[in-house]
Amino acid sequence: MSKMRDTVLSFAIMFLVWAPTARAQLGTFSGEQRIQFTPDWHGDRFADGRPRVPESVLVRLRDVTADEAWDILQEAGYRNQFESGWKVINPGQRLVGRVVTAVFLPHRPDVDSVIQTNGKKEARVGGENSWVIDILQPGDVLVVDLFGKIRYGTFAGDNLSTSIYAKSHNGLIVNGAVRDVSGIQQIKGFQCYVRGVDPSALENTMLMGINTPIRIGDVTVMPGDVALGDPEGVTFIPAQLAEKVADDTEMIHHVDEWGHAMLREGRYTPGQIDRKWSREMVDEFNQWLKQKGSKLRMPLP
């Protein structure tokens, strides 16, 4: 069943790439399609059509845990946004950034010959795994579907990883592997979430899409999503929900902080703090938020 699902998704991606109305070359997803398939995003976009979640929101998301994001996304109806089971290279602070996607498939000579021909027309240089790196911008997180391939499924070594970090100042997520781990560990600030590591080089694959919808485990990932990596795994937050996740999580943190302070001061009882707050309590809480410089407010009951 899993192989059948993978095949269906692969053909769906190829249809989107090859559809005559898309006016897109092989290996790409048109800007029009990126807008069409992210209809709930109403903010700024990159020139390629990807949603541009504001940097201020990305900074706030660094305080969000997988559990907090999970609850908010579940409530919004997004039930398949978290993927676990990663090996993390250079763990540290949470990985947060706007997603750039790439999808690889097992090599097939006739199809790959078309990819190579189009690559030459587009003046692409180097191996196919370097093509997507060339388009990275600061703040991007490169997310690669290498169909879980480990041996000969190493998307990057220390050289390409250095290039990724130089362009994006951010990390890499690969449903596959990397190599040259000792070298990658020397790239300060560069986090990798991978399925495994292997000394082999990337072989017997072909790049099927850049900035297309891809599948990472149980998650459908869109270009412009926000990747949030923490010790539990990776959450892919739809662009239109990024600010809500940041706002709701910040409010939860403020509620906890204020509630604990009120309990320490003996101003309110545990029963008052743990149930629905009175109008007086909410008003006092909102005044406290204002004093802290937060723009968030709790609605009055």
Contacting residues for 57 by C-beta, under 8 A, at least 6 apart: 226, 242, 243, 246
pLDDT value, residue 15: 38
Of the candidates 180, 122, 132, the residue with the CA atom closest to the CA atom of residue 156: 180
**Which tens digits make up the pLDDT trace of 223-264?**
999 999 999 999 999 999 999 999 999 988 888 889 999 999
Measured CA to CA, the distance from residue 146 to residue 174 in angstroms comes to: 7
The pLDDT of residue 18 is above 90:
no
**Which tens digits make up the pLDDT trace of 260-281?**
999 999 999 999 999 999 999 9
Q: Which of helix, strand or coil describes residue 289?
A: helix
| Single-letter residue type at 17 | V
pLDDT value, residue 249: 94
The pLDDT of residue 3 is above 70:
no
Task: Report DSSP letters for 231-245, one per residue.
Answer: TTEEEEE-HHHHHHH
Of the candidates 248, 34, 30, 51, the residue with the CA atom closest to the CA atom of residue 139: 51
The pLDDT of residue 294 is above 50:
yes
**Which tens digits make up the pLDDT trace of 248-258?**
999 888 888 89
Domains assigned to the chain:
2-238 (3.50.30.40), 243-292 (no CATH)
pLDDT value, residue 206: 97
The pLDDT of residue 21 is above 80:
no
Measured CA to CA, the distance from residue 143 to residue 164 in angstroms comes to: 11
